[in-house]
Amino acid sequence: MNSEIVVSKEQYLEALGFTIYAYLSGKITKYSGMGGQKTRTLGEFIENMVYGKIGELAFKNFLKKKLNIEVLTETDIAGFYSGVYLPDIPSFADGRALKFWIDVKEIRRDQKWLLIPASSVKSRPYDAYVAVWVGLPDEHILWLIENVPYIKNKMDGSWVKKVQKLADRIEEIPCEVVGYVTWNDVQNVINYFNKGDNSAKKCLMKKFKTESGKIGANYFKDGDKLYDPEDPEWHGSEVRENIGFYIQSIQKSSNWEEEFKKFICGNTKMIGPVPIPRTKNGSIRKSAGLPDSYGNYEDLREAFQRYLETQLEEIKKSNNNILRRNKSWFSEKI
């Protein structure tokens, strides 16, 4: 299956609109974990978020074009919803919430591994992880500038030439949905590399075997270096604790039409219960990101599923019982 897909200029601009709205309205934290809780500028915030949003939109377009499945991303929803543990594809286009949760992970063209942080796997696992290459140029903000008449009218001729050259080059954003792994694949990596489970090894060898006969998956510990199982001369950087899948292996193993379509249309979660972090007196920890009203839940995933569905229903009620957005994010009140 041809996995190349494009994201339109209009989708790109709405992704920027959503990102700017989230920043200016204080809907998402402006702090960065890097540099001692440094407050991010709007420019830094856009760079942190926009590639991921484009990846989600590319995957949405892929599902429609290749599998005839219509879904909505966060930028397509008529209102803003919150939560620290949510899927990147919240609902089908008809308004039904997804129970098969997908984490879309943006990757770069020269990236050799899809890396899933072990900390997130332990606390907030997903049913599937989808790798998407996003062909957004480093100068993409100039595209936004090109669409602001006031700034455009003030531009020097040299700026106009640069912006027009970029606009001609990225009328659409080329992307590629590289492949996916499921929660079962993640579990097999953990069970083999950490517990020596031979049945898990057999599954990994069958699904992710490289041409040189190695397993295209690994459990990277803190301080381990990335490597290329097909090129012993290649040496990568040190990484933190991650479950890793070799990009070439997931490209070959991904079965979109038979396996993935069955999973998403079946709309059933794959992972087991996720404990809710609690204080000594039994209340939900603030780090869980759940309202106190969800204190009767024991499964974090089930609690957030309900939290998401409740918010989507509220958005529908305030939008003539329609979940899909019918106006630009730039028109939202800050």
- pLDDT tens column, 232-291: 999 899 999 999 999 999 999 999 999 999 999 999 999 999 999 999 988 999 989 999
Assess whether pLDDT exceeds 50 at residue 35. no
Q: What average pLDDT does this structure show over 92-97?
A: 96
pLDDT at 94: 95
Higher pLDDT, 102 or 331: 102
pLDDT value of residue 75: 95
Give pLDDT, residue 79. 95
Q: What is the pLDDT of residues 146-171, one digit of tens each?
A: 666 644 554 567 656 766 776 676 66
Q: Which two tokens stand for residue 58?
A: 């590319």
What letter does residue 238 receive in the DSSP assignment? E
Q: Where are the domains of the chain?
A: 4-331
Residues 6+ apart with CB under 8 A from 65: 5
Pick from 306, 307, 247, 300: which is nearest to 122 by CA? 300
Q: How far is CA 92 from CA 27, 99, 189, 210, 265, in A?
A: 24, 10, 30, 35, 10
Q: Give CA–CA dist 23/26, Å, rounded.
A: 5
